[in-house]
Every structure is written in C-alpha cells, then in structure tokens.
Amino acid sequence: MTNTDSDNSREWAAQAYALLKKRQEEQKQELQKQEEQKQELQKQEEQKQELQKQEEQKQELQKQEEQKQELIDTAKKQNIVGQSKTIAEPELGEFDENFTWSAMVLAAQGKKINQISIDEIDWLTKLRRGLEETRKGFVTELLDKLGDDPLTPESLDDLETLLIRADVGIDSTDKVISSLRTKLNEEVVGGEAGIKFLKKELKLIIDKPIENSGTDLLVPQKGKLNVWLLVGVNGVGKTTTLGKLAYLSSKSNYKTLIAAADTFRAAAVEQLKVWGDRSNVDVISNQSKNADPAAVVFDAINSAQKRNVDLLLVDTAGRLQTKNNLMDELAKIKKIIDKKAPDAIIESLLVLDASQGQNGLKQAKSFAKSADLSGAIITKLDGTSRGGVSLAISEEVNLPIRFIGAGEGIKDLRPFNSYEFVEAMLADK
C-alpha cells in the first residue's frame, strides 16, 4: 500500500469514527430523554398516591390515571419499560488500530461511511483479535524472516512450514505454494506483494465450495419451512451456535423455532431454553428420559407448520463413541422431515471447533461421508492458533463455510465472509 493510500484510508476511518461517535452521542441524548420521561412517570405515581388520600379528588385521580397510561404506552413504544430482555449494544471503543483496520476492511468492500455500524466494527475487531494467535506464528514470522527482501525459493519453504503449522492442510498448502512458485519464476515478488498474492490464493480456496453451492450467503428462504440441523461431535459448540443463530434469525425477522433433539444430555434442553429465552424463540422439547429425537422433530414440525415458522433450528446429539447410532439418528430425523414437510428446505450444517485443528478436519471427512452435509460452521476462532483449518475444510471436504463463531456471547456469530476472514488471518500488524 502506498503512503497516499494509507493516508486516505486513515482519513476515511477518521471520518467514519467521527460519524459513529456523533451517532452514539445522539443515542445517548435520546436515552437521557427517555430517562427524564421515566422520572416524570415516577412523579406522576407519587402524585397519584397523594390524590388517593383525598377522597373528594377522585375525579382528578381518574384523569391522572389516564395520563399515566398514556405515558406508559409512549414509554413502552420507546422500549423503556420491559428492557430486561434487550441485548446490550456495544460501545464505540477508542480510535485505535483495531478501529482503523475494521473500517478499512469495510471500506474495501464498498461500504459507505454512513452505512457502517458499531456492531460491524465490534465483530471485525473480535475476529481480528481472535485470529491473532493464528496470525502470530504466520505473517509476523514470515515478514520478520523476509525483512525487506523479495521472496526466494527458500522463503517459500518457510512459508510452507508456516501454513502447515497453522493447520491450513497439505492440499491447500501445496496449491498456494505452487502458485507462488510459478509467480516467482516470472517476476520479482516483494514481501508485501507476496502477502497480497497469498491472501488472494487463500480466498480462492475458501470461495470455491461457496461458489459451487450457488449461494453466497445462507439465509432462510421466505414462504417455505427451512430446517437447519446442527450436527457434530460433543463439545464443538452446537448448542451455543444454535442459540446465536436463533438470535440472528429472530432479529432479522424470520419466525424462528428451536427443536431440542439432543435428548441424550439431560442438561441440553435447559441450556437451549436459556438461549431461546434470550432471543425470544420457543423451544420444543420432550423432557422424558431417552425421548426419541425424531419424535421431538416430529412435534417441532407440527408446531412450525401451525405457526408459519420460517426457520426451525434443530439441536442434535453428538456422542462419538456410538457413531453409527448417531448417523442412524440423523437419517431418521431427515426421514421424518421429508415425510412431514416434503417442501421443507433442509440444511445439514456441521459444527467444527477450530481449536481442534486437524482433528476437526478428520471429523468433517467422516461426517461428510455419511451425513449428507450442506455446509460447515466454524466455532471458537477466538484465541486459537489453528484458524487455518477453515481452508482445509474448504479444500479437502468441499464444504461451504456458512457461519463463524468467535466468542461465547449471543452476538459472537456472523455469516461467513471470506474477504474479512482472510484479511483478519493475514493482517500485517
């Protein structure tokens, strides 16, 4: 990047920051206004008690009551009352490197200053921080090794080792290195240009299964029942991811329902209910011991059809030791859906824990063989050094990555964006 470019980007980011700051100020003022109204309400309440003592002023009291109701209605509309369920909005942080980087990533994707939100900045900051460990043993080390010199065949060997170590996988690594080697034979490639080329190659690998699927972004199709099955081994984050998806979906105005089809773990239903509560989404479950998961899905589809649900999210069990049973169970669930809702659009999404690296890749291969998967969700990208496994999943299992999770909070899941992912993985600071 030339100096002028980075000056412009910084200027752009500064403008974006100023705008967000102003917007936040306005929101604060609005909140203050609401607070004043609330206090006004309290005052009214006190007056009402005073009036109650005075029997002869009954008439007046009635009027006050009406006035109070009016205020409550206004307050309700403005979301002052009943705020306990709303999820806290993120605060605008400092105007620092994270902000500048996030703003630049948004700008590079064609976002205008007035289109960006604190939520987006917050997420990109999380993603960049989350991939810090993956990045550390990678770009930083590579740039250190290169210094200001152009790439050499020896530095490609180093890069190869780094890619393998970041769990990018042998196939993806071979592909990238051989492209780079061809480029080196044709021209002199400096460190920065090398990283740029690397980003482009990695993005191509991740984008291929997404392009093959014909759908850039996985969203429920309107006017149909969409059923998303979350599958994967124990502990990878299925239930948590489902909770976050329920929030994303209901916030985006899709009528959403959850089916608690992990009937194996007693606590699973309770865990789901907590998530459902947070996002105002109902959970269909069967509390009896060893309930049949397919029967829960049966009930859930009934409810979904009655309520005109857009998206039914199904949590499933993931015990690995009985893998055949697990696959049978998934097949049975799918059969029920086919029978009861033949028009439903089914997505089988494999949830993978990025911190498991190559083990995750093994799981993906084994599930892909028998579970008819349509996509992957990568979790726990926060604080792992193995974020590169996303590339191995794309290249070796040909699964489109649909969402990624980087934290335990309800907002810590986003639709997958390959540009943002690769930028965060290879950010050069």
Ligand X SMILES: Nc1nc2c(ncn2[C@@H]2O[C@H](COP(=O)(O)OP(=O)(O)O)[C@@H](O)[C@H]2O)c(=O)[nH]1
Residues contributing to the site for ligand X (CB under 6 A): 232, 234-240, 318, 379-380, 382, 405-408, 412
Q: Which is nearer to Mg ion, 189 or 231 (CB)?
A: 231
234 binds, among Mg ion, ligand X, none (CB under 5 to 8 A by kind): ligand X
**Shortest spacing between CB 332 and Mg ion, in angstroms:** 18
194 binds, among ligand X, Mg ion, none (CB under 5 to 8 A by kind): none
**Shortest spacing between CB 423 and ligand X, in angstroms:** 19
400 binds, among Mg ion, ligand X, none (CB under 5 to 8 A by kind): none
Beta carbons within 8 Å of 201's beta carbon, 6+ residues apart: 175, 176, 179, 180
Q: Are 76 and 82 in contact (CB under 8 A)?
A: yes
> How many residues bind to Mg ion according to rule CB under 5 A?
3
Question: What's the first-to-final CA gap in the chain, in angstroms?
Answer: 14
167 binds, among ligand X, Mg ion, none (CB under 5 to 8 A by kind): none
Helix, strand, or coil (residue 192): helix
For every residue of 355-401, DSSP letters joined together read GGTHHHHHHHHHHHHHH---EEEEE--TT-S-TTHHHHHHHHH-PPE
100 binds, among ligand X, Mg ion, none (CB under 5 to 8 A by kind): none
What's the Cα-to-Cα distance from 139 to each of 157, 163, 198, 215, 423, rounded to whole Å? Answer: 14, 10, 10, 31, 11
Q: Which is nearer to ligand X, 209 or 243 (CB)?
A: 243
Does residue number 316 form part of the binding site for Mg ion (CB under 5 A)? no
**Shortest spacing between CB 371 and Mg ion, in angstroms:** 16
**Shortest spacing between CB 406 and Mg ion, in angstroms:** 19
337 binds, among ligand X, Mg ion, none (CB under 5 to 8 A by kind): none
Q: Which is nearer to ligand X, 218 or 413 (CB)?
A: 413
What is the pairing mode between strands 345-353 and 311-316? unpaired
Take residue 39 and report the two structure tokens written for it.
Answer: 């206090």
405 binds, among ligand X, Mg ion, none (CB under 5 to 8 A by kind): ligand X
Q: Which is nearer to ligand X, 208 or 273 (CB)?
A: 273
**Shortest spacing between CB 248 and Mg ion, in angstroms:** 18
Q: Are 242 and 258 in contact (CB under 8 A)?
A: yes
Burial level of 49, CB count in 10 A (0-12/13-18/19+)? exposed
402 binds, among ligand X, Mg ion, none (CB under 5 to 8 A by kind): none
Q: Which is nearer to ligand X, 238 or 334 (CB)?
A: 238
**Shortest spacing between CB 367 and Mg ion, in angstroms:** 16
Q: Which is nearer to Mg ion, 122 or 412 (CB)?
A: 412
Site for Mg ion in 206-245 (CB under 5 A): 238-239
| Calpha distance 244→246 (Å, rounded) | 5
Residue whose beta carbon is closest to Mg ion? 239
387 binds, among ligand X, Mg ion, none (CB under 5 to 8 A by kind): none
| Calpha distance 105→119 (Å, rounded) | 14
Q: Are 304 and 312 in contact (CB under 8 A)?
A: yes
**Shortest spacing between CB 302 and Mg ion, in angstroms:** 23
Q: Are 389 and 206 in contact (CB under 8 A)?
A: no
126 binds, among ligand X, Mg ion, none (CB under 5 to 8 A by kind): none
Take residue 279 and report the two structure tokens written for it.
Answer: 């996002």
**Shortest spacing between CB 379 and ligand X, in angstroms:** 4
Q: Which is nearer to ligand X, 271 or 398 (CB)?
A: 271
Phi-psi region of 147 (alpha: psi -120 to 50; beta: other; left: phi over 0): left
Neighbours of 422 (CB within 10 A): 23
Q: Which is nearer to ligand X, 102 or 384 (CB)?
A: 384
| Calpha distance 91→340 (Å, rounded) | 45
Q: Which is nearer to ligand X, 241 or 394 (CB)?
A: 241
**Shortest spacing between CB 335 and ligand X, in angstroms:** 23
**Shortest spacing between CB 269 and ligand X, in angstroms:** 12
Give the dihedral sign, CA 276/216/133/92.
negative
Q: Which is nearer to ligand X, 201 or 353 (CB)?
A: 353
| Calpha distance 345→220 (Å, rounded) | 8
Neighbours of 18 (CB within 10 A): 12
Site for Mg ion in 245-304 (CB under 5 A): 268
Q: Could you say which DSSP state residue 235 is in? A: T
User: Site residues (CB under 5 A) for Mg ion?
Assistant: 238-239, 268
